[in-house]
Chains A and B, each alone.
Chain A
Amino acid sequence: MPVTRTDEVILRAEGIYKQYPGTLALNNVDFKIYRGKVNVLVGENGAGKSTLMKILAGVEDPSAGKIYLNGKEIQITSPTEAAENGIGIIYQEMNLFPNLNVSENIFITREKTDKTGRIDSTYQDNYTRGLMEKLHQNIDPQALVSSLRIGQQQIVEIAKALSQETEILIMDEPTSALSTAEVEILFNIIDELKTHGVAIIYISHRLEELLQIGDYITILRDGQKVAEEEIESINLEWIVRQMVGGDEKEVFYDENHTIGDVVLECRHIFLPHESGAFAVNDVSFTLRQGEILGIYGLMGAGRSELLETLMGVHPEATGEIYIDGKEVKSTRIGERIRDGFALIPEDRQREGLVKTMSVLQNMTLASLFRLAIKGVHLKGSTEEAEAQQLIREMSLKTAGTGVLVSSLSGGNQQKVVIGKSLLTQPKILLMDEPTRGIDVAAKGEVFSIMNKLVQKGFSIIFVTSELMELRAISDRILVMSKGCLTGSFLKHEASEEALVKASAVGHLTSNQRTK
């Protein structure tokens, strides 16, 4: 590896701010990108990585800040302008047109036309074939994109970016949907691109992968840049420490919970998946009263699906569920709520909140069956009293119960979602990534709420991808991988190493690859 000083900065972002209604997504962020290197960007969910990338790709405008390309200040106000400046992006969600073929996708909006305005598909196909040869890939330019595997589609995206003479290529979680073999191919392509002088910005949650492929690393936390290093001089522990922050432990309330009898027993839960495999594969476990049970695993390990199954979201799931020794027979979500389950969903905006409704209406939405007199009449004062009490208990900051929920900050919105589930008077809370996208202070508050709840006798199943959080708050930790339970640890025996190892069972990822 060449010495740092000789590496040339191609793009520099300075003092970037981005304000959204509800959150400050980026707070004075500086970011340097080196030519011909893999520039890794990491941070927890909600740290601002994707927002920063959207700004570089011209999808979003920064609220403040400057961007320099080769030392010259530039404005990127649209994706077209980004492309003109040599910046290409491969999104986490694919941005291809499945109904068009490979070369049509590559030339979209830049179609090669002859004098009469007709598209010259022979030229386009030949050009595409050339690109694929350069990438050592055997993909037919005339194949429909919908007929390609995910990994191949990603290669088409890369080819598309390259066809625009991209000098800076942003890859947002490129490996999250790929098989091991496909990851291998992708890494070869990245090496190839590097030799051609393309700068790569690489975002991933798979930390080990970053150590293999990266040259430089920048870490974001809660919208701020916290560190910048050469990959050579750091290790996994360092990344984790920087991502989570040294002071994180202090905001946790590492308390002992009084644990009672078994409240929930699950036996042989199966959830079939479209692919023919199982999203949840023969999972059995118990949960005791007053216990916080953490579930760890990688993306797609089946954790959210397990919670959803308990909640009754998937009527096709099989298995036995017992609450307080009595079998749960109900199949609908509404009935499961009455049985004592309450879900705090992973995606607050899409699944937790109704943005067009007020704080009060959101909080009581799942409990109207209980609050309405004879199931018909809603009395404003009853709703108000219940909501007010929760607002006080959770120190939820809002200008009133009547304001739109979308006007609150992320942390307070999350408290509304937690409040909503508490109002249903549950026995078992299912919390799916409850701290995603909220700032450190709000995280601490969410944990203290969780601790208070278990002291009151609630039981919690808590899904997270963040190891520090998991180990700080859980009494017991289950690990899932590819739908199966692959580990069970008591709090004191759960080392990070053991957890990560268990979460990788069945994956056998790129560890074998030597650099």
Chain B
Amino acid sequence: MSKHTFSIGGVHPHDNKISRECPIEQLPLAPSVYLSVAQHIGAPSVPVVAVGDKVKVGQVIAEPGGFVGAFIHSSVSGTVKSIGPRADLAGRLSTHIEIAVEGDEWLEGIDTSDTLVTAIPEDPKAIIDKIRLGGVVGLGGATFPTHVKLSPPPGSKCERVIINGCECEPYLTSDFRTLLEKGEQVVVGAALLKKAMGDVPCTIAIEENKPEAIAHIREVIAKLGYSGIDVMVMKMMYPQGGEKQLIDAVMHRQVGSGALPISVGAVVQNVATALAVYDAVQKNKPIVDNSVTVTGECFPKQANLLVRVGTPLRYIIDYLGGVPEEAAKIISGGPMMGRAVANLDAATVKGTGALLFLTEKQTRRAPETHCIRCGKCADACPMGLEPFLLNKLSKAKDWDACEANAAQDCIECGCCLYSCPAQIPLLDNIRVGKGFVLSAIRARAAAAKAAAEAAKK
């Protein structure tokens, strides 16, 4: 079996998938859910319900604020209690729609049965439209609206759909469990995405540490008899689940700086997104829930939970027995790229994939020492950057040099920081430089646009 991986950089942290044997379990409904109107990349959605309205599961409660935007559906049935600012995980305020749960009544037309619908609609446009109406966004973490990704700009053509089942972040197991338990649905979802992009070949990429999932998906593909969908076994390597890395690994093509994957003919969708696509197209079921891994060595009850969008984190944790005493840090997402949770009263969003509990010993940073010029960071960088240099330039506030050395291409995967023997906060400093470079690039683009418009007049 040949194993594929991306060509430069990468690290190999221990995968720690301690919750891999936990089947996906339905979390009981919380007393209230809080649905953010800004849980995707793009313009925040506009609420279309008013306080006091009765809503059902799957009912649209907010409409997209622009082309790059997504519908938001009520994840529970009940009454809209309030619409107002509420703090998210990082403490930042955004508009949330609070719904008090009463029963569990689904909107008519949503198929909640378990029967597998394998017939693929003929019209790609109809598929994409259903995906749009289902509020589907990329569930790998970036939450980019899926229908936008599936509408390539004129002049570019998709040559391959890649379903990302790498789950390269340590600890996370929700995609693995989804592949095992809902493999049929994921494969049908992959077939739908393939159809939507004009019947291009489709690859489901799974890392070698999930042999059960690989065998199961192969079996399902054979059983369902779809042609043009294959499984690719990937070598374990972080950050293989990164879009650009995965395209490199599967198609041996490099996405240029600032370019989109479609520029090399690739569309990458996560396993959970494929499942959401299946639900939206075949079952008329919008995204109302997603699976969340709750894990960590210090957490007594590992679990993979099916959580309704907007459930407060505190409710999930209390259901599993509360925050363990040794836990010093709670991370939303994986240990490499996840964000620390500053506010447990925050609600889950469509992109919430995991809650990870780490102990003081696991999280405490060792004191920074001097760079010994070992070059490990440059070896580890999957984007081919020179983190030691960017670190220095960023500290010197030389933003032009940061741009010349492609700080804007950093994907913030943390490989440099992980590999640094001197514990230098490389990523933190590079992130500063990246922020300034990106704002400079945006300012230039805006100025160019304004100048072009002025020239027209």
Asked if A and B bind, the verdict is no
Tell me the B residues contacting A by CB distance below 8 Å.
Answer: none
Tell me the A residues contacting B by CB distance below 8 Å.
Answer: none
